Amino acid sequence: MANPLDELSSIKVKLSIVIVAAVVVTLAVNEIGLALNFRAGFRAGVAAIIALGMVQLMARGMTSPLRKMETAATQLANGDLSVRVSSHSADEVGRLATAFNHMADELYELDRQRRDLVANVSHELRTPISALRATLENVVDGVVEPDPALLRTMLAQIERLQRLVSQLLDLSRLESGGSPLHKITFPALDLLEAVADEASLHSPDVEFDVVVEPKDLDVSGDPERLHQVIANLVENAARFTPEGAGVHLRAFEQDETVTFEVVDDGPGIPSESLNRVFERFYRTDEARSTDEGGSGLGLAIARWIVELHGGKIRAEQRDPNGCRMVVELPSPS
């Protein structure tokens, strides 16, 4: 049952009302007792009982959320993250209960993310480890010869493992702030050309073209980190763009913002995945089914780096097909 004082937003006001009401009742009982010629002791006793009853009734609900919160905090500390407290009052205790529930929600979400991360990491590590183990067992049992082709496959699995582990370390350093940026101002053209040169070594069948407007456009940031961001976008684009098609790298300045774009003619990203590709380990079904590429950490790392620079990153679908990845950084001041 709701308490009549629930609507009040301050404990001080509630207590004042309870005290004043108790004093008024005591005086009234005293007056009535006097008129009926009751003894002083009897009048005091009756007044005290009625005042106490009133305080009990009116103050009900003021302290019970605190007791509930004490129990809930103990449950929370013991690992039960589903526990919540209910409070109908609008005072400090009610607001504390709301803050408590909010904290419990956040803890629950963090715990869910932690469990997801462990599950994803284990899954991603298990696949190459199982493949390596199976191959090595065959070699040890004499079923297959350790010829160069087999050793290359094994090396590829080990490289995949190494890449995953270093990406995870990188992400954890970025998230914990343990990887400060070494910012300088440098030409955007240098960045895009370096990435394009590197990418054409890995994907000789893909054309990479670079356009920077104006040519001497400067960007401010950590050159290595920004190289890492653009290189990941270009690597993804080269992976998805069809043979013979190109990947376009652009940089231009507008409204105090330096924008980088990496555009390809691949299948693009389905609209429901446009935001999700920046989540750790997220890959679209298309990427999963090809078994190419990495574990889905590249864009999560890219987003951290861009946000540390005070910028934004987003994926857009091109019409009729293709993907445009856009990175916006504040212009050098």
Binding flags for ligand ATP, 152-181, as an x/- string (CB under 6 A): ---------------x--------------
Compute the least distance from the CB of residue 156 to ligand ATP, in Å: 13
| Secondary structure (H, E, C), the chain | CCCCCCCCCCHHHHHHHHHHHHHHHHHHHHHHHHHCCCCHHHHHHHHHHHHHHHHHHHHCCCCHHHHHHHHHHHHHHCCCCCCCCCCCCCCHHHHHHHHHHHHHHHHHHHHHHHHHHHHHHHHHHHHHHHHHHHHHHHHHCCCCCCCHHHHHHHHHHHHHHHHHHHHHHHHHHHHCCCCCCCCEEEEHHHHHHHHHHHHHHHCCCCEEEEEEECCCCEEEECHHHHHHHHHHHHHHHHHHCCCCCEEEEEEEEECCEEEEEEEECCCCCCHHHCCHHHCCCCCCHHHHHHCCCCCCCHHHHHHHHHHHCCCEEEEEECCCCCEEEEEEEECCC
Binding flags for ligand ATP, 275-304, as an x/- string (CB under 6 A): --x----xxx--x-----xxxxxxxx----
Contact with Mg ion (CB under 5 A) among 33, 61, 298, 322: 298
Nearer to ligand ATP, 145 or 285 (CB): 285
Size of the site for Mg ion (CB under 5 A): 3
Nearer to Mg ion, 14 or 303 (CB): 303
Binding flags for Mg ion, 204-243, as an x/- string (CB under 5 A): ----------------------------x---x-------
Applying CB under 6 A, the span of 3-11, 57-65, 89-97, 260-268 interacting with ligand ATP comes to 260-268
Contact with ligand ATP (CB under 6 A) among 269, 305, 306, 313: 269
Nearer to Mg ion, 89 or 236 (CB): 236
- 240 near ligand ATP, rule: CB under 6 A: yes
Compute the least distance from the CB of residue 329 to ligand ATP, in Å: 19
Binding flags for ligand ATP, 181-220, as an x/- string (CB under 6 A): ----------------------------------------
Contact with ligand ATP (CB under 6 A) among 91, 124, 253, 264: 264
Q: Which residues bind Mg ion (CB under 5 A)?
A: 232, 236, 298
